[in-house]
Amino acid sequence: MSATQTPSQTKTLRDLAKVVRSKNSGPFEITFDVIFDDVPLYERVKASGVLTEALICKLYNVKNEDIVTLMFFDPARAFKLTLKRSWAQGSVGERDTFGAQQHAPLLTVEIPGVQ
């Protein structure tokens, strides 16, 4: 590595995104938003190829068919995800009726090559 090159860094979505949230999307789905306030940063995260079906399945212990939406939405500079709930909203044993605590696994997702 030359003196002018810098090592590639890895940062988490918690460090990079302006907003990482989850919320209720009806009684049978939860939706997630990862929103960036910087277009070049959003583009780097999008180009990284990290936010995939395989990763989401691993993070949330779901099958591919449980993923309703997994996409980047350029007008909002956002990664959007919707999952089928493994339990109905408000059912016996409900853990998070508003779905507001389900985004936590996304916070530690590492994105390489960002500064």
pLDDT of residue 81: 97
Q: Give the chain's mean pLDDT.
A: 89
The model's pTM is 0.85
Asked whether the beta carbons of 45 and 114 are under 8 A apart, the reply is yes
Please write the tens of the pLDDT for every residue from 1-19. Answer: 334 444 568 999 999 999 9
Q: Quickly count helices (H) and strands (E) in the chain.
A: 4, 6
36, two tokens:
């960036």
Res. 94: pLDDT tops 50: yes
Please write the tens of the pLDDT for every residue from 25-40. Answer: 888 999 999 999 999 9
Please write the tens of the pLDDT for every residue from 65-86. Answer: 999 999 999 999 999 999 998 7
Q: Is 77 helix (H, G, I), strand (E, B) or coil?
A: coil
pLDDT of residue 90: 74
Torsion of CA 65, 43, 113, 14, to 10 degrees: -70
